[in-house]
């Protein structure tokens, strides 16, 4: 995503559009939080798991 789109100016003049925008922000925040929680415990230590991961990488 381009940085300029983050800083774009826009006007919300309709209450329905404002509600939709707030809902989209809520969904985005929830999805971001879920993703961060998943990434925390992603350490692989067992040799068998490391080999399986490398096999998946080579198969791509």
Question: What whole-number distance in Å separates Cα of residue 31 and Cα of residue 55?
Answer: 29
Identify the CA nearest to 46 among candidates 36, 54, 37.
Answer: 54
pTM of the full predicted structure?
Answer: 0.42
Question: What whole-number distance in Å separates Cα of residue 19 and Cα of residue 14?
Answer: 9
At 58, list the tokens. 């080579």
**pLDDT tens-digit readout, 19-60:** 988 898 888 888 877 666 656 666 778 889 888 888 888 777
* Reported confidence tier of residue 7, pLDDT bands at 50, 70, 90: low
| Residues 50, 44 contacting (CB under 8 angstroms) | yes
Question: What whole-number distance in Å separates Cα of residue 55 and Cα of residue 42?
Answer: 17
């Amino acid at each position: 995503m381009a940085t300029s789109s983050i800083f774009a100016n826009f006007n919300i003049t309709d209450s329905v559009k404002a509600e939709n925008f707030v809902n989209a922000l809520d969904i985005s925040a929830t999805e971001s939080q879920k993703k961060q929680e998943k990434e925390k415990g992603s350490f692989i230590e067992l040799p068998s798991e490391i080999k399986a991961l490398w096999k998946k990488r080579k198969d791509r």
